[in-house]
Amino acid sequence: MTARDIDALRKHGSDYSPQLFKALAEVSSDLGREIFFVGGTVRDWFMQTVPNDLDLTVDCDAVRCCRSLIHYLDSGTFVPLGTAEEDAGRVVWKGLTIDFSSFREGAATIEEDLTMRDFTLNAMGLSFSEFTDSAGRMKLIDPLNGLQDLERGILKACPDAFVSDPLRILRGYRLWARFGFVMDETTLAAIVEHASLLSRISVERISYEMDLIMASNRAYEVISAMAESGILFLVIPELKKGLGLEQPESHHLDVLGHSLAALDNMEKILADPETFYPECEEMLHEYLATPSIHEVLKWGALLHDLGKPVTRKIREDKGGRITFYNHDEVGRRLVQKLGRDLRWSNEKRDRVAALTGMHMHPFHLCNVRRKQELSKKACLKLARRAGDDLIGLFFLAMADSLAGKGETKPAAMEEELEDLLCSVLKTYTSEIEPALSGPKFVTGRDLIEIFSLQPGPVFSRILNELQEARVEGEVRNREEALEWVADILQEINSAQS
């Protein structure tokens, strides 16, 4: 490193509390251990960013270092990391996380330890004592030329990285997603060679890495690369069934290519939603402030056609036309299963599955609007079923539409979707909400006490349809509502007899 590089790195010391560095010096002196900054900390400093977590390593006694640091800081919380054999721990202090680890098994020196890490850009180290000695010379410990790879934007695996920990395969794609770095050919070949080792890794760890990729701004780029290497299909085997699966003439890509294109378009929509729905700006930003919603919508885009391979038919009675009848509902069930397999939270699984199951609704309503005016009842049914994800549903529809460029696709499909969302939102806020804002004409208790019903499918159907009748002005008060319920029950009983 040049003197200028050293000065630039040392300036990062001022980004942290002097109390912390003083305590680290006490730990090093007290235990007689040299402490090294390593991994993401050194990488981020070279990238001119200030990490909120510090990665430190010592030749041994990492957990003891953690407890000693808490002692000298006179505060902080200890969190054990890894297994007892790995000897690693974390100190959480004033918004910072300070991770200590001992040299990896088989490493006698810091250089040997660094070569056993995941990628060369994470295999650099700095001596703590040299870093804090402003008058002394500081040397970058870089046995695998990680700084050169970092400057070139290349992800290069350390020797035997994937054999030691197969999760590093996904971690590599996650680093690609985070920084935009590209894997070199040797690393890509090693990923393909050792891909089967991912079966050793827990589903929870795999799912965590996939979610970080989806939360990035390069999900499409990285997921596409994972599909090309085959890694994606080890995580989500159902997607491979869409590879090479031909679609109707409204599409120009096979099912997998279309799903990836939908993910690409979803990222573009999330980056600039007003371009696609310019009349709904305030509501869009309010919706997009929902925690983890970007991740949910990207998963929805990638998985929305998961039901197509199962439902694909070639209709000889219709001139060899390709159909995917009911693929949305079949896809919803497949996403529910996938979400359970990947250990998603119930909320996330339900939201992604619901978006999959509803993704054709906006297109159906566009078809209706070409022939007649959209009713308030139709708007209510759509809003009720979509719930909090009404806007997300239209984001998915737009991404889906933009991903299809076949000859028979309606020319103004995107404009129709934009107009439909504006119309639904306007109708809901100006007409439906006011109509439903007063006291309920009939409650669930009324259905139980007056009509002797028990909660169930019929119960829910009556209450929902009564809402629709009220919105359309067919029912204006409690008396009319009770008469309406009696008539509906008579129709239901007649149909069942």
- How far apart CA 214 and CA 244 sit, in angstroms, is 24
The larger pLDDT score, comparing residue 134 to residue 4, is at 134
Q: Mean pLDDT throughout 24-51? A: 94
Residue 205 has pLDDT above 80, yes or no: yes
349 and 290 in a common domain = yes
Residue 91 has pLDDT above 90, yes or no: yes
Give the per-residue pLDDT at 408: 85
138 and 36 in a common domain = yes
Q: Mean pLDDT throughout 386-400? A: 97
Q: What is the pLDDT of residues 341-363, one digit of tens each?
A: 999 999 999 999 999 999 999 99
The larger pLDDT score, comparing residue 293 to residue 250, is at 293
Residue 314 lies in a domain: yes
Q: What is the pLDDT of residues 221-255, one digit of tens each?
A: 999 999 999 999 999 999 999 999 988 887 889 99
On whether the CB atoms of residues 184 and 155 are closer than 8 A, the answer is yes
Q: Where does a domain end: 120, 146, 172?
A: 146
413 and 338 in a common domain = yes
- How far apart CA 420 and CA 374 sit, in angstroms, is 9
Residue 213 lies in a domain: no
- How far apart CA 278 and CA 436 sit, in angstroms, is 28
275 and 326 in a common domain = yes
What is the tally of structural domains in the chain? Answer: 3
CATH number at residue 44: 3.30.460.10
Residue 94: other Cβ atoms inside 10 A = 11
Residue 225 lies in a domain: no
Residue 497 has pLDDT above 80, yes or no: no
Q: Mean pLDDT throughout 423-437? A: 92
Q: Where does a domain end: 146, 179, 195?
A: 146
Residue 353 lies in a domain: yes
460 and 353 in a common domain = no
Residue 2 has pLDDT above 70, yes or no: no
Buried b vs exposed e over 460-492: b needs ≥16 C-beta within 10 Å? eebbeebbbbbbeeebeeeeebbebbeebbeee
Structural domain of 125: 3-146
**Residue 458 pLDDT level (bands cut at 50, 70, 90):** confident
463 and 413 in a common domain = no
326 and 462 in a common domain = no
**Residue 9 pLDDT level (bands cut at 50, 70, 90):** confident
Residue 282 has pLDDT above 90, yes or no: no
Q: What is the pLDDT of residues 100-115, one digit of tens each?
A: 999 998 999 999 999 9
Residue 90 has pLDDT above 70, yes or no: yes
Give the per-residue pLDDT at 239: 98
Q: Residue 432 is encoded by which pair of tokens?
A: 């439906």
Q: What is the pLDDT of residues 176-189, one digit of tens each?
A: 999 999 999 999 99
Residue 247 lies in a domain: no
Q: Mean pLDDT throughout 12-25? A: 93
474 and 359 in a common domain = no
- How far apart CA 199 and CA 283 sit, in angstroms, is 43
For residue 267, what are the contacts with CB-CB under 8 A and spacing of at least 6? 217, 219, 220, 298
Residue 178 lies in a domain: no
413 and 378 in a common domain = yes
Residue 251 lies in a domain: no
| Coil vs helix vs strand at 154 | strand
Mean pLDDT score across all residues of the chain: 94
Q: Where does a domain end: 414, 436, 458?
A: 436
Give the per-residue pLDDT at 251: 85
**Residue 136 pLDDT level (bands cut at 50, 70, 90):** confident
For residue 132, what are the contacts with CB-CB under 8 A and spacing of at least 6? 13, 21, 25
On whether the CB atoms of residues 363 and 412 are closer than 8 A, the answer is no
Q: How many CA atoms lie within 13 A of 370 on its CB side?
A: 11
Sign for the pseudo-dihedral over CA of 257, 261, 264, 266: negative
416 and 452 in a common domain = no
Residue 214: other Cβ atoms inside 10 A = 22
Give the per-residue pLDDT at 307: 97
Report the share of the chain in percent with pLDDT over 70. Answer: 98
Residue 261 has pLDDT above 80, yes or no: yes
Give the per-residue pLDDT at 3: 55
Give the per-residue pLDDT at 334: 98
463 and 341 in a common domain = no
Residue 8 has pLDDT above 80, yes or no: no
16 and 134 in a common domain = yes
Residue 346 lies in a domain: yes
